[in-house]
Structure formats: C-alpha cells, structure tokens
C-alpha cells in the first residue's frame, strides 16, 4: 500500500499511524478539501470523492454543533459490516487538518483507531512548520492545484 | 450497585490487582473500569481487544476452540483476561506477585455475572 504526501511534514506521522492502527485508507486534508496526504488509495477519483464527502460531513456537523451552541464535534464514527469510518480534526500550526480513516473490522477496531489518532494529532502538531502562512487556494488556481496534488499523491 | 460494578469488584478485591476493566472485544472500547491511577484504560482496552481478536483467529486456525483465559506475564506485572460469552472481555492488570489462580477464578465469576 502506498503512502504519499503533498505536504512532506505529514508523511512520517501518517506512516506511523497507518502501521499502528492497521488502517486501510487514510486521507489528510484541509477543511476546504485540499488533500495533504493519503494512504491506500489507488485512484485519483476516489481521493477526490472521499475528500469532498469528508469535508462536507465536517462542515455539516460543525454547523449542527454551532446551532446547538456546542463546540465542533471532536470525531465522527460509522461502523458497517466489514469496515468502519472515523473522521476527526487535528489542529496544527498550519491550521486544522481533517483526517479520514477507513479500517477493516477484521484487523482493526475503533478503539485502536482512536488510541493511535491521539498520537497522530500530537505528532502532526509537532511536525507542522510554525512559520509560513498556510496556502490558500483561489478558485482560479483550484483545478491546477488539484491536478498537481493528485500527481504528487499518485507518483505521476 | 450495577452488575458491571459487582463484576469488577470481584476482581479488584484480590490483593495485587491494580485494576479491572470490561472491554468490548469487537470495538476495543471500555465498557466499565476500576483502575488505579497511572493505568491508561483506553489504551489497555484497545490493545486487549485487538489481541483478543487475533488470538481468536489463531485458536480457530489451530482448531483448538475458543479462548477461555489468557495470562500475559510481563517484567513489571501481568495482564489476565477472560472473555465472556456476550463479547465482553474481563481484563485484570496485576502486579508480578499476584495470585494468578485466584484472579483467574474471580475473572471467571465476573464473566458469569456479565453474561
């Protein structure tokens, strides 16, 4: 399984997490849907869909929390017959990183994913550069940046 | 006192036991716990759940039936586990000098209580 990163500082924490939690797929992205790193995806289309859907879920639940007068939800978990999905935020010096984890129930569990996600959060925060402004994507640049990111993530 | 608390009490009253937990084996999440300070329950639960699933597969592959009790002896203590039929693991974290036979007995009684 391949692990690749657009933002190099995310790579080591991501690799550590994947190994410890036995995750099948992991996607690190900004709340706007820019992909920072991925593990296990084999098709660019899947990454784009997963990023769009994950950030939409985060946006929806954040808005629900806001309407309830609550702080944003810490994590969201869905469990199916064979796979589980875990979606949570990790604060870094470069802003919030949204983390999507898909795990096989045969080889991992929500307990393991939660346990090692705490470590991932800490490591991402520590690894993120303190200097430099996080890149903002303008609508005009979006397609080019997306294409560049996918090229990096899939080694084209 | 709930059934879960009574089950944990059976185990924690044994001298040398530093804590007891009920863990959902499938999820690796804590159901109930009575732990001394310094023991990270969520970590023990996640790793014990993972281990239980792998052991169950190993036992199945070996054709030797279901796990009834496991005892991991470490340099500074021991982890003792009995799976209940409901899919809950009864986990004890103990010192090295604990009476393993007595803990096993109480874990089995706790498993009966939990069902």
Using DSSP's 3-state secondary structure scheme, residue A156 falls into coil
Q: Say what the pLDDT of residue A50 is.
A: 93
Q: Is A115 on the interface with B (CB under 8 A)?
A: yes
- Which chain B residue has its CA at the smallest distance from A78's CA? B27
Token representation of residue A152: 């990096």
Backbone torsions φ then ψ of B32, nearest 5 degrees: -155, 155
Interchain CB distance below 8 Å, B46 and A115: yes
- The pLDDT mean for chain B works out to 92
Question: Which tens digits make up the pLDDT trace of A4-63?
Answer: 888 899 999 999 999 999 999 999 999 988 899 999 998 887 888 999 999 999 999 999
Question: Which tens digits make up the pLDDT trace of B6-50?
Answer: 999 999 999 999 999 999 999 999 999 999 988 999 999 999 999
When pLDDT is averaged across residues B75-95 and rounded to a whole number, the result is 94
Q: Is B55 on the interface with A (CB under 8 A)?
A: no
Token representation of residue B9: 């009490």
When pLDDT is averaged across residues A99-115 and rounded to a whole number, the result is 94
Token representation of residue A131: 């200097």
Q: The whole model's pTM is what? A: 0.82
When pLDDT is averaged across residues A121-145 and rounded to a whole number, the result is 77
Q: Say what the pLDDT of residue B1 is.
A: 62
Residue A143 has pLDDT above 90, yes or no: no
- Which chain A residue has its CA at the smallest distance from B45's CA? A111
| Length of chain A in terms of residues written | 156
Residue B97 has pLDDT above 70, yes or no: yes
d(CA A44, CA B76): 49
């Amino acid at each position: 399984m391949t692990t690749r990163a657009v933002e190099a500082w995310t790579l080591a924490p991501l690799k550590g997490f994947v190994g410890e939690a036995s995750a099948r797929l992991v996607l690190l992205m900004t709340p706007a849907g820019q992909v920072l790193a991925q593990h296990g995806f084999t098709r660019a289309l899947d990454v784009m869909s997963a990023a769009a859907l994950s950030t939409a879920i985060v946006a929806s639940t954040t808005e629900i929390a806001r309407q309830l007068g609550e702080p944003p939800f810490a994590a969201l978990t869905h469990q199916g017959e064979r796979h589980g999905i875990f979606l949570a935020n990790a604060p870094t010096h470069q802003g919030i990183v949204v983390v999507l984890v898909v795990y096989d129930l045969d080889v991992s569990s929500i307990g393991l994913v939660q346990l090692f996600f705490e470590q991932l959060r800490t490591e991402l925060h520590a690894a993120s550069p303190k200097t430099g402004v996080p890149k903002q994507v303008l609508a005009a640049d979006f397609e080019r940046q997306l294409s560049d990111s996918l090229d990096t993530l899939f080694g084209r | 006192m709930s059934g879960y608390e009574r089950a944990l009490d059976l185990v924690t009253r044994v001298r040398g036991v530093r804590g007891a937990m009920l863990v959902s084996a499938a999820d690796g999440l804590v159901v109930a716990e009575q732990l001394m300070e310094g023991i990270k329950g969520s970590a023990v639960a996640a790793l014990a759940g993972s281990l239980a699933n792998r052991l169950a597969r190993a036992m199945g592959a070996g054709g030797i039936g279901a796990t009834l009790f496991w005892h991991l002896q470490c340099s500074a203590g021991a982890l003792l586990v009995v799976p209940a039929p409901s899919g809950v693991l009864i986990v004890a974290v103990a010192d090295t000098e604990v009476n393993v036979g007595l803990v096993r007995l109480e874990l089995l009684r706790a498993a009966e209580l939990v069902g």
